Structure 1
Amino acid sequence: MGRAAELLGVTQAFLRSLDTAKLITPLRSEGGHRRYSRYQLRIAARARELIDQGTPIEAACRIIILEDQLAGAQRINTELRQAQHHPSQAEPPAGTTD
């Protein structure tokens, strides 16, 4: 946790507050130390950015969740569009038989 806080330029208490708010839940080592993924560090950095701009932590958490959902929906949309433009060659044309 100390290393993560140092990398982000935040306090350990800030990282604990994100855990309490259920924005990020780090894995625990055998010794009970919090271990953050790169994705969780990016989320924590975004939370810090929003909070530094004056956004309350609860609102910052909600914004980040919505941003993440939007990014996921946009990825799915892109994949569906690509599939429409490049249909699988494995499917025979409609109305044909073997």
Structure 2
Amino acid sequence: MQQIPDLGKNSLGKPDPWAKFRGLAWWQLVLSIVPMLLMLVGGAIGGVIGATGLFANLSLARKPFGTPAKLLAMLGVVVATYLGYFLVVGLIHNLLKG
């Protein structure tokens, strides 16, 4: 029986920080990274929300869904992260401006 390699370690036995990105299709990589663009616009708040979207999409990319369902789910996460960011920023703005 063939052994499945451990994607979390490199050849030297050290943790591989890029293991979650290996083996994904190009569109899965793009949809996983797009939420992190919030970090450029929103600083720490955008970074936290973007990282949440990144990890959610990486998780969805590894699920055994069909391609159309996976694409729609990952697009939904991207839209939800941007809407969530604008909601949080809007609430903070309203709280500070009174």
Higher relative helix content: 2
Higher strand share: 1
Is the pair's TM-score, using the shorter chain for normalization, greater than 0.5? Answer: no
Short-chain TM bin: 0.3 to 0.5
TM-score w.r.t. length of structure 2: 0.45
Structure with bigger gyration radius: 1
